[in-house]
Amino acid sequence: MVTITNDDRPRIRSNRPKRMKDSRGYRVFQVVNGAVLLGVVFVTLYPFLNIIAQSFSGESFIRAGEVNLIPQGFNITTYQLVMGDGMFWRNYGNTVLYTVVATAIAMVLTTTYAYVISKRNIRGRGLLIGIAVFTMFFNGGLIPNYVLISSLGLTNSIWAIVLPNAISVFNLLVMKAFFENLPAELEEAAQIDGLSTYGILLRIVLPLSKAVIATMVLFYAVTFWNSWFQAFLYLNQQELFPVTIYLRNLIAGASTASSLGSGSGDLAQVASNIKAVTMVLTVLPILCVYPFIQRYFVSGVMLGSVKG
Amino acid sequence: MSLHEPTTAPDGARASGPEAATSAMLAAEARPPRGRRGRAATGRGKLPWRKAIRRDWQLYTLVLLPLAFFLIFRYLPMAGNVIAFRRFQPGGSIFGEEWVGLRYVEMFLNDPTFWNVFGNTLTIGLVSLLIAFPAPIILALLLNEVRTRYFKRFVQTVSYLPHFLSIVIIAGMLLQLLSLEGTVNQVVRAFGGDAVPFMQRPEWFLTVYVSSEVWQTVGWGTILYLAALTQIDQSLYEAARIDGANRWKQTLHVTLPGIRPTMITLLILNIGTFMAVGFEKILLIYNPLTYPTADVIATYLYRVGLESNNFSYAAAIGMFEALIGLTLILSANAISRRVVGTSLW
């Protein structure tokens, strides 16, 4: 029953001549474990591979239920069809625009607030922190938010997308923690040299914070790139939609992409194809940068929990 | 992280992910300890506001814009909740026109649909909690046993991927996979069964929702556990081995106690947010055929409020949901502090 296993410390039992082998049970476990994890990888990746296969397949094969991992009836006409749709590119451009503007606004607001609350000796610091942290636990809720945005007249404008979620308190606290760990002497020296607070922030603090700024930009950009609900609530003109809403309308069947049907009347017949291609094209930028940005996200998430 | 409405959550992320845990920890840390504050007050003495402003006015100007953001987009809507007790006219004041007392509260308490969606919310939340909460722990433990570093890194990288996708993409994939000619039904047919229109069947909704929830969150959820696993003192394993503990017993008596604080933190957060089930996902994948099991409080109040324009009624439901969420997180925190000595604050 009791098995003594040993991997990295061969000298614990010195009466044994060599590095002790794992018990047979543990070796079996290792193999099973590897298989299970490969299964996890497969299940995680399968939906992507399936969508990619569908995007290159003929619609008749999809409808016959024959497409899983390998494209059937290989063609790229669906790509040509979707990429030929002006509205798709228009909406794609909107996503880029919203992401850039929203991230810029978010970065300005988050950085300035985080910088101020990172100052330990400023009067009212506790209050400022409290104002931000409180919103993590309490939120106005859907209806009051909707009423507010409408009465501010932001409906059908870019501001309804880029303003209401401009500060993520999580990001704010990560930045604050980073600023707090910068050496205070540098700022003091700069102050003695006659730099104003703004000068210190712009010329001393920000250049030292490139790492955290890059991480925050990524955090915000991915969130805004993926967001759809704000646009769904507050935009009702097709030219303003981000690509997520374009896609949402495709999958919800309430297709507004009339140009794709191009009068053929069999939009339903090409739908699976088109959905797959639209999904692939929407997710492509994320997939391309993902391998490079993933570790920033992981380190960002763990920044705050190191002490815990 | 918001207890109230996932849709307007500033983080836009799933409510109970690692970010939530981290931000809770950061928040707990951000609060100055009481004792120190007292000492500072007596020791160096607080600067009077006038002097503070004269000294730090540049810093205070930096805070104006973000502060305006918080007041307008966070605190105004909070105050806007009073329309739950007032008559509201679209186009009128965001705080409503006149007091109507508890009329809207009584209205939803007597609304059978409300109790149906309330039950659905509890069921979906509870089953998600039971399955989606332990899943990352198990995956982290399995990953922890992997000896080949590259393989471990590979599995991690792949399993984080769903976290970075838009919920619209996830919904789209789900609908494709579960359609009559999708992969799942291909498998069903291969085993001689009849294709099932999963997305049209109320009895399948819970399964679909929870399994996709696991797919989305299991990998990303391992991050904090894997970090906690590396913090465990290696000499504890050595001692356990000398005491004759096999791998399984080491896991049981060293590994699991080692990650217990992380588990409890995440459990508290999960309990606190389980009323706020994945509203955006449900909104994207449910349909009138699956309302009997798929409709939750958040989707119901969305339809009541924004499709039928009963703003006050929907706001009342929203407040009720927020109250339950708040009660849940406070009691989970209190219980955990008393029983296991770990708490968020």
Q: For chain B, give the percent of residues with pLDDT over 90.
A: 36
So what CATH class is B6-35+104-339? mainly alpha
pLDDT above 80: residue B312: yes
In chain B, what residues touch A249 (CB-CB under 8 Å)?
none
pLDDT confidence tier of residue A305, bands split at 50, 70 and 90: low
pLDDT confidence tier of residue B45, bands split at 50, 70 and 90: low
Name the least confident of A103-112, B139-148, B334-343: B334-343
- What residues 117-156 of chain A have any CB closer than 8 A to a CB of chain B? 119, 122-126, 128-133, 135-148, 151-152
pLDDT above 60: residue A9: no
- Secondary structure string (H, E, C) spanning chain B: CCCCCHHHCCCCCCCCCHHHHHHHHHHHHHCCCHHHHHHHHHHCCCCCHHHHHHHHHHHHHHHHHHHHHHHHHHHHHHHHHHHHHEECCCCCCCCCCEECCCHHHHHHHCCHHHHHHHHHHHHHHHHHHHHHCHHHHHHHHHHHCCCCHHHHHHHHHHHHHHHHCCHHHHHHHHHHHCCCCCHHHHHHHHCCCCCCCHHHCHHHHHHHHHHHHHHHHHHHHHHHHHHHHHCCCHHHHHHHHHCCCCHHHHHHHHHHHHCHHHHHHHHHHHHHCCCCCCHHHHHHHCCHHHHHHHCCHHHHHHHHHHHCCCHHHHHHHHHHHHHHHHHHHHHHHHHHHHHCCCCCC
Q: How far apart are the C-alpha atoms of A50 and A71, rounded to whole Å?
A: 9
Distance from the Cα of B334 to chain A's closest Cα (Å) equals 16
Q: What is the pLDDT of residue A65?
A: 81
Of A209 and B101, the structure prediction assigns the larger pLDDT to: A209
Distance from the Cα of A36 to chain B's closest Cα (Å) equals 9
Q: What is the pLDDT of residues A125-164, one digit of tens each?
A: 999 999 998 887 777 889 999 999 999 999 999 999 999 9
Name the least confident of A123-127, B68-72, B267-271, B288-292: B267-271
pLDDT above 50: residue A258: no
pLDDT above 50: residue A257: no
The overall average pLDDT reported for chain B is 83
Q: What is the pLDDT of residue B66?
A: 96
The domains of chain B are located at 6-35+104-339
> By the 8 A CB rule, do A58 and A77 touch?
no
Of the ranges A88-92, B40-44, B47-51, B335-339, which is most confident? A88-92
**One CATH from 3.30.1490.20, 3.40.640.10, 3.30.70.890, 1.10.3720.10 for A86-303:** 1.10.3720.10
Element (H, E) at A107: helix A86-117
Q: For chain A, give the percent of residues with pLDDT over 90.
A: 43
Q: What is the pLDDT of residue B173?
A: 92
Contacts of A14 (CB under 8 A, 6+ apart): none
Indicate where chain A has its CATH 1.10.3720.10 domain(s): 86-303
Nearest to A286 among B145, B164, B247 (CB): B164
Name the least confident of A29-33, B23-27, B314-318: B23-27
Q: What is the pLDDT of residue B214?
A: 94
Residue range B161-181: mean pLDDT, rounded: 91
Nearest to B173 among A47, A146, A197 (CB): A47
Name the least confident of A10-19, A45-54, A86-95, B220-229: A10-19
Nearest CA in chain A to B37: A126
CB contact under 8 A, B166 and A225: yes
> By the 8 A CB rule, do A248 and A142 touch?
no
Nearest CA in chain B to A175: B26
Say how many Å lie between the first and final Cα of chain B, rounded.
15
- What residues 261-280 of chain A have any CB closer than 8 A to a CB of chain B? 272, 275-276, 279
